[in-house]
Structure formats: structure tokens, C-alpha cells
């Protein structure tokens, strides 16, 4: 129930952006208009996510694009993930809980990447990624 206030605010914001034309992203391959430019949440994808990464990519999508372009793509490989999570914590405010959550999220993401890199080849055809 706590997420519904965010869903409501984001969907209402999308409606306003689309009504003013800001959400128009051009035309798709089939020639139909695409209104996903200002889409900030994929509710169905978030609620039915099977892993942490999928849930993150469905939540606060436009902020993620900004974080990726501003922090992740501009930093060295060794620090880019940690610096992106730190910037996200700064963006949210100066509360200790945010820093613990986002730093924990950075280490969780690193661990998940390592586990996936080690385990996934065993489930691929031919035993190689």
C-alpha cells in the first residue's frame, strides 16, 4: 500500500506531460505514436519482477537514465557503480538510512553480478556464456 502514493503521483505526472505533448517520443516501427518519453514507472513490471535488477529498472525510470548518463557512463569502471549509488543517495537527501540503503544496494549489485557471471554459464547451452 505504501507504493500506491508513488504510483498515483507518477501516473498523474505522465498524464500531464502527455497532455501537454512532453511525453511524445516519436513514432514506433509500426507508425503509431509513442508516448513513453516521460514514463517513470512500469507498475506491472515492478510488481512482478523476478530479480532485483528488473525491479530497479521498472522503478523511477527517468531518474535512472539521468544517473546513468551523469554518473555511471562518465566514471572509471572500478568506481562507476559505487559513485552512481552515492549520487542517488545524495539526490534523495541527507538521511543516514538512504546512505545505508544505497551503499548496501551497490554491494548487493556487485555480488549479484559476480554470482551471475559464475553461475549462469552452467545453465547455458554448451556450458559457456
Q: What gap in Å lies between CA 11 and CA 19, rounded to an integer?
A: 12
Locate 55 and state its grid cell. Answer: 525491479
Looking at the whole model, is its pTM more than 0.85? no
Alpha helices in the chain (DSSP H): 4-20, 43-47, 52-58, 61-67, 80-92, 96-119
Contact criterion met (CB below 8 Å) for 61 and 39: yes
List 18, 60, 75, 114, catalytic entry: 60
Name the DSSP letter for residue 126: G
Per residue in 61-77, pLDDT (tens digit) is: 988 999 999 999 998 88
List 51, 92, 114, 122, catalytic entry: 92
> Can 92 be counted among the known catalytic residues?
yes
Per residue in 18-51, pLDDT (tens digit) is: 899 888 989 989 999 988 888 889 999 999 998 8
Amino acid at each position: 500500500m505504501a507504493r500506491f502514493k508513488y504510483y498515483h503521483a507518477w501516473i498523474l505526472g505522465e498524464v500531464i506531460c502527455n497532455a501537454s505533448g512532453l511525453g511524445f517520443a516519436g513514432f514506433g516501427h509500426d507508425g503509431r505514436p509513442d508516448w513513453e518519453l516521460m514514463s517513470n514507472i512500469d507498475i506491472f513490471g515492478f510488481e512482478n519482477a523476478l530479480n532485483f535488477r528488473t525491479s530497479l529498472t521498472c522503478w523511477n525510470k527517468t531518474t535512472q537514465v539521468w544517473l546513468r548518463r551523469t554518473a555511471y557512463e562518465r566514471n572509471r569502471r572500478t568506481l562507476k557503480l559505487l559513485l552512481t549509488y552515492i549520487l542517488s543517495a545524495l539526490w534523495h537527501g541527507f538521511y543516514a538510512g538512504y546512505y545505508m540503503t544505497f551503499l548496501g544496494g551497490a554491494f548487493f549489485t556487485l555480488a549479484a553480478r559476480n554470482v551471475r557471471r559464475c553461475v549462469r554459464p552452467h545453465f547455458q547451452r554448451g556450458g559457456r556464456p
